[in-house]
Amino acid sequence: MTQRKERDDSFLVGHVEVEIRSYFEKVDMLGNIIETKEQNIDYELESDEVKFGVVGINISNPDNIQYFDYFRVDILVKSSVYTYFRIAPYEQFTLTYESNGKINEVAMTRDDYSPFNYNIEDFYDNRLRDGFFYYKHPVQRVSPTEPNRLVFIDRFPLDQTYPQYEARYSLQVGFIIEAVQYLNGPQNNWGLMNPPWDENANW
């Protein structure tokens, strides 16, 4: 999901663009990458029923490249001007079953968020108030041909693993991302006069 905006704030004109990169990356015990998957990771109920833009995460088989532990999300900042952005993850825990030869799914309720390895050093978790994580620093691209890559969700630590469920359970994850120019962008577009991580500070 990508958002592109052009604004003119106090005579500052620039291109604002951020992009989400979701993928799976399996490593060995030394941290060496042994397998990566970025294509065809959308949730698929049946071969002819795919939810594009929604990532399907396996929670039953650690040998599967799309297992929870291997999920990663990077943000690629392509803006030509300094930018603030926020990102909202949406999760759906599902149970699938077969009835009359057709695969069906039921959304299951959960009390807590899934324990993804979020980058909480650079992102502020404001989900309980508005559903978003906020990147706490104004940021822009490295160069016109090189985006600035920021880690949002990293792989699970090697000494930890997500608990396994029965094969009929799975997790679906989608994201909404919003980006604004740093100068007056959060105030004008999000209605936030101060950053959520410090309401006594200025953007």
**How high is the pLDDT of residue 46?**
60
Classify 45 as helix, strand or coil.
strand
Query: What is the number of residues in the chain?
Result: 203
What is the DSSP secondary structure assignment for residue 129, as one 8-state letter? Answer: H
Alpha carbon distance, N-terminus to C-terminus of the chain: 25
Within a 10 A sphere around the Cβ of 165, how many other Cβ atoms?
Answer: 16
Cα–Cα separations (whole angstroms), residue 81 to 98, 123, 141, 191, 194? 51, 20, 8, 20, 20
> Residue 34, exposed/middle/buried by CB under 10 A (0-12, 13-18, 19+)?
exposed
CB 178 within 8 A of CB 190: yes
Instruction: Identify the helix (H) or strand (E) that includes residue 117.
Output: strand 117-118
Contact call for residues 118 and 125 (beta carbons, < 8 A): yes
In this structure, what is the dihedral angle of CA atoms 86, 73, 150, 120, given to the nearest 10 degrees? Answer: 70
- Over residues 124-175, the pLDDT tens digits come to 999 999 999 999 999 999 999 999 999 999 999 988 999 999 999 999 999 9
What does the domain layout of the chain look like in residue ranges?
A: 2-190
- CA–CA separation, 65 vs 71, rounded Å? 9
Dist CA 43 CA 54 (whole Å): 6
Q: For residue range 40-64, list pLDDT tens digits in order.
A: 998 776 656 667 789 999 999 999 9
For residues 197 and 105, the model is more confident at: 197
Its pTM stands at 0.88
pLDDT band at 8; cut points 50, 70, 90 = very low
Instruction: Give the CA radius of gyration of the chain.
Output: 19
Q: Residue 99 — very low, low, confident or very high, per pLDDT cuts 50/70/90? A: confident
Mean pLDDT for the stretch of residues 84-107 = 90
